[in-house]
Amino acid sequence: MSRVTSFVLVLFLLTSLLSSTTRAQDLTSTTDWPQWRGPDRSGTWYHGPELDTLTGEHVTSIWEVALGSGYCGPTVANGLVYVMDLLEASERVLCFDALTGENMWIFQYPVEYTVGYPTGPRASVLISSGKAYSWGTMGQLHCLDANTGELIWKRNTLEEYQSLMPTWGMASNPILVDQLLIVQVSGADGACMVAFDKDNGKEQWHALDDEASYSSPILITQAGKQVLLCQTANLVAGMDPVTGSVYWNIPLERLKMNMSISDPVYEAPYLFFSTFFDGSYLLELNQQSTSAKLVYHRHGSSERLTEALHCCISTPMISGDHVYGIGSYGETRCLDLKSGERIWEDLNLVPPERWANVHLVRQENQTWGFNETGELLLGKFSPEGYQDQGRVRVIDPVKISPNPRNGVNWAHPAFSGSYVFVRSDSKLICIQIGTP
């Protein structure tokens, strides 16, 4: 090889490496999406692209890979994407390069589903300090090396805690608070909520004598203290995340079966949450002490004839004195936060059907949506109504039994930098948002 040829080859390699490094920084220098609903579990896209309208020209396909079925939304950390699926009789945790889609590793274990809608794992993979935590539909909890997929520890909570399995399986996303991984395991003998040491999996505390819901806990500050908010099947509680001590709990009026899926949302001093059958609740949390009181519970005569919000999968949003969310049949509604009175209704974000869903993600003064038909939406919510700024279909649903209609996309996307990661029951895609 001549000196000129060698020089050209070295120059090419250096240029390629620099280009690759620049692209990696473009993805990882912004806020990652390392857990359910983003870095702080608030459903907020930080440092995303600045767009006033959304058209097909603003969406660039980067890569796609094949997947099995599942409702597990992807997560993103340190240039890697994580997701779970169900393939034949195994649950899998998969890791991909965020920029290329290259499969980095797969962790797989056998599982037998005995739940409704047996189409894959529900909870997102949580990434922290080089570890990946996965929570399977049948209660199998794994801690893996985030870079290699090697097993660090595991717990079979269904067997160990004699868990009462929810109808649709374990779906509540675990939350990490300092050294503790806190999971809604639905265990017997006061072990609905269990905290495990994040490094070795040993139990640190358990609490609440109730069945699990599908709703995920959030962490807030109340009266100067960290408070873990947990909505289980029959109550909502504020807890000390370090010890598991219960500061307060309020029983829920259960009108029908347990179908609490969407998360509570908090804007001091108000905590709002909604369930498919039971409607809307507003709690006022005392700011001088760790106590709470019920302000209202508003519901219709059925999940079809509703007054306020009967949320199914989508988590609502509080903005000022109003709350916005998706109702039981896909109705987008605005409520007066303090009274629960409906201000307006819009039926255009998703075709109205039972359980119709739109995941809502804020970005500064506008909101992104992803509906079950596979459309990415951009718009603005206000007390005057919803302002549509455009929509683009980015992925098609897969017709798979027993999913309703001709298939639905119910998994929550991940938003990182200018990239969006979206999955169906057959593939995971990466798209880039912005002006070409």
Residue in 178, 173, 172, 237 with CA at minimum distance from that of residue 207: 237
Q: How far is CA 116 from CA 113, 220, 312, 401, in A?
A: 9, 32, 16, 11
Asked if 187 and 193 count as a contact pair (C-beta separation under 8 A), the reply is no
Per-residue pLDDT of the chain in tens (436 residues, 90 and over written 9): 444 333 333 333 333 333 333 333 344 445 799 999 999 999 999 999 999 999 999 999 999 999 999 999 999 999 999 999 999 999 999 999 999 999 999 999 999 999 998 999 999 999 999 999 999 999 999 999 999 999 999 999 999 999 999 999 999 999 999 999 999 999 999 999 999 999 999 999 999 999 999 999 999 999 999 999 999 999 999 999 999 999 999 999 988 889 999 999 999 999 999 999 999 999 999 999 999 999 999 999 999 999 899 999 999 999 999 999 999 999 999 999 999 999 999 999 999 999 999 999 999 999 999 999 999 999 999 999 999 999 999 999 999 988 899 899 999 999 999 999 999 999 999 999 997 5
What is the strand order of the sheet 225-231 is part of? Answer: 218-222, 225-231, 235-239, 246-251
How distant is the alpha carbon of residue 19 from its chain centre?
32
Three-class secondary structure of residue 182 per DSSP: strand
> What are the boundaries of each domain within the chain?
31-153+412-436
Cut 0.85: pTM above it: yes
Distance CA 148, CA 53 (A): 40
Asked if 323 and 334 count as a contact pair (C-beta separation under 8 A), the reply is yes
What is the strand order of the sheet 270-275 is part of? Answer: 265-267, 270-275, 279-285, 292-298
User: H helices of 56-212, where?
Assistant: 157-160
CB atoms within 10 A of CB 114: 11
Q: What is the pLDDT of residue 264?
A: 98
Give me the CATH topology for the region 31-153+412-436.
Thrombin, subunit H (2.40.10)
**DSSP-assigned letter for residue 117:** S
Distance CA 258, CA 261 (A): 9
The burial of 29, by beta-carbon neighbours within 10 Å (0-12 exposed, 13-18 middle, 19 or more buried), is given as exposed
- Fill in the amino acid letter for 410: W
Q: What is the pLDDT of residue 436?
A: 59
Bridge partner list, 176: 181
Three-class secondary structure of residue 190 per DSSP: coil
Q: How far is CA 247 from CA 181, 212, 286, 314, 379, in A?
A: 19, 19, 11, 27, 39
Residue in 119, 117, 112, 149 with CA at minimum distance from that of residue 134: 149
Q: What is the pLDDT of residue 401?
A: 86
